[in-house]
A and B are shown apart, each in its own frame.
Chain A
Amino acid sequence: MAPVLELRDVSKVYGSGAGEVHALRAVDLAVKAGELVAVMGPSGSGKSTLLTIAGTLEEASSGDVLIAGAAVSSLSKNERASLRRRSIGYVFQDFNLLAGLSALENVTLPMELDGVAVKAARAAGLEALRRFDLAGKADRYPDELSGGERQRVAVARAIAGDRRLLLADEPTGALDSANGEAVMRLVRAACQEGVAGVIVTHDAQLASWADRIVFIRDGRIVDQTAPLPGPETLLTPDAAS
């Protein structure tokens, strides 16, 4: 089965001549359904550019971006917008909820914009909120929710309906560690149900929730973690040292 997201030899250059900035250099990355990958690197390493290109919000200067096997470059502007609404969910550090809409309306809006009937969108939205223990907060407005609840609404919005790709930029950056952990448990659960997830972060603790961590430096992927052995190997003092 084709990966949900595939970047092949993707480069991104901003500006030209002496002011040219190479944000990404020949990046290859494939993320399968059910897999959570963290892209870890310092500020300015190109990780956010990678995420916006993966999410079709920006175009690569060269190379190919494939979503569910289809090359994004072959899609029209409208097809791309539809792909974004239907298949891709975004989670940002600062939640990006619309202040004038309730939690439920925030979750259902992208589906309604995509032509899903109001009743069906509402049912899908309520289901997503229920999964995240937020059914009781469906009618609350963002300013009536805690930071942790707002981000859980944002994750619910990102995976409601039939989304296949979850892209998150420092999703726990504005949260304390308990709320950050709650959000990451939800992201993991969504991936275990078949969503492909990519989080970009500088934070090793956040990255450690991923199945695989790729390290980015100066626009290049320089390294990645090995497949995980079972956690039971930590249960003896020798293995933990």
Chain B
Amino acid sequence: MSVRHALLALLSEGPKYGLQLRQEFEAKTGEVWPLNVGQVYTTLQRLERDGLVESDDAESEGPQKGFRITAAGRGELMEWLRTPGGDDAPPRDELVIKVLVALTVPGVDVAELLQVHRRHLVQTMQRYTRLKEAAAEADLGLALVADAEIFRLEAVVRWLDAADVRLKRFPPAPAPAPADAHPAEAPPRRSRRVQGVR
């Protein structure tokens, strides 16, 4: 999440001090994104440089300096809110690659491998569910963050379940045993050169 836009959002409620911005940022994001003080002040400096916020006093610095959003800052915030998130398909998810590789590695029980990942994901879901359960019902920020993670992880578990069913219906052909040390399809000359180097 962009610290820049989070700060603009907080300032859209009214003028605030640096320290106050930091505290409200933590409270509103369910304390899931720990933020250091320096990050708040350097981001505010950049926002001011870009004309998106104004400060009360250009001379003083630090926690007591007050900030307010400009019309340009409000415009930037509204545009960001409406910009679609980065939800394009990732080029290749790491877990997908691992499962595809496992299909080719001799001696790997792919169903067991899927279960290892399923267990890990479900354990993480359990922890987010417990976090949500323990939080005050009014802690909207925390509940929304926990829900987002739970739904994201659930989607991966469902993919593993679907992979399980596919593997059962169409078991992969056993990978060839690594008996031959020479690459089977490598051109003979190259193969000789490799042997020559040895």
Shortest Cβ distance from residue A224 to the other chain B in the assembled complex, whole angstroms: 8
Residues of A with C-beta under 8 A to B128: 208, 231, 234
Q: Nearest CB to that of B161 among chain A residues?
A: A42
CB-CB contacts of A63-80 with B at 8 A, as 1s and 0s? 000000000000000000
A215 touches B115 (CB 8 A): yes
B130 and A228 form a contact (CB under 8 A): yes
User: Of the candidates B34, B115, B134, B150, which one forms a contact with A222 in the assembled complex, judged by CB atoms under 8 Å apart?
Assistant: B115
Determine if A223 and B125 form an interchain contact, defined as CB atoms under 8 angstroms apart.
no
Is there a chain A Cβ closer than 8 Å to B95's Cβ?
no
Give A132 to B121 CA distance when docked, in angstroms: 31
Q: CB-defined interface of A203-214 with B at 8 Å, one 1/0 digit per residue?
A: 011011110010
Is residue B133 contacting chain A, with contact meaning CB distance below 8 A?
Answer: yes
Q: Given A215-B115, A237-B34, verify A225-B149 contact (CB < 8 Å).
A: no
Contact across chains for A205 and B32 when beta carbons are under 8 A apart: no
Cα–Cα, bound, A235→B131 (Å): 10
Give chain A residues whose Cβ lies under 8 Å from the Cβ of B182.
Answer: none
Q: Given A185-B133, A188-B133, does the pair A210, B126 have CB atoms closer than 8 Å?
A: yes
Q: For B123, give its contact among A209, A217, A226 (CB under 8 Å).
A: A226
Q: Nearest residue in B to A212 (C-beta to C-beta)?
A: B126
Min distance, Cβ A37 to any Cβ of chain B, angstroms: 12
Q: Is A47 an interface residue (CB 8 A)?
A: no
* A224, B32: Cα distance in complex, Å: 28
Contact B34 A231 (CB under 8 A): no
Chain A contact patch, size range: 20 to 34
Q: Is B76 close to A, CB under 8 A?
A: no
- Quick check: B126 and A213 within 8 Å, CB to CB? yes
Q: A16 on the interface (CB 8 Å rule)?
A: no
Q: How far is the CA of A233 from the CA of B126 in the complex (A)?
A: 12
In the complex, which residues of chain B have a beta carbon less than 8 angstroms from the beta carbon of A228?
123, 126-127, 130
Chain A contacts for B115, CB-based, 8 A: 215, 217, 222-223
Q: Which residues on the A side are within 8 Å of B158 (C-beta)?
A: 204
A75 CA / B7 CA spacing, docked (Å): 67
Contacts of A231 in B (CB 8 A): 127-128, 130-131, 134
Could you count the A-B residue pairs with CB atoms below 8 Å apart for me: how many are there? 71
**Chain A residues positioned under 8 Å from B126 (CB to CB):** 208-210, 213, 225, 228
Q: With A and B bound together, what is the CA distance between A240 and B151 in angstroms?
A: 14
How distant is the Cα of A226 from the Cα of B122 in the complex, in angstroms? 10
- A222-B116 Cα distance, complex, nearest whole Å: 11
Query: Which residues 15-62 of B have a CB within 8 angstroms of A?
Result: 31-34
Q: How far is the CA of A137 from the CA of B162 in the complex (A)?
A: 41
| A121 CB within 8 Å of chain B | no
Whose C-beta in chain B lies nearest to the C-beta of A204? B157
CB–CB B165/A42 < 8 A: yes
| Bound complex: CA A235 to CA B128 (Å) | 10
Interface assignment of A86: CB less than 8 Å from any CB of chain B: no
A224–B126 Cα distance when bound, in Å, is: 13
Q: Are B119 and A223 in contact (CB-based, < 8 A)?
A: yes
Are A236 and B34 in contact, with the CB atoms below 8 A? yes
Going nearest first, the 10 A-B pairs with the smallest beta carbon separation are A231-B131, A208-B125, A204-B157, A208-B129, A208-B126, A231-B130, A205-B154, A225-B123, A204-B154, A204-B122
Which residues does A use to contact B, with CB under 8 Å?
Answer: 40, 42, 185, 188, 202, 204-205, 207-210, 213, 215, 217, 222-226, 228-229, 231, 233-237, 240
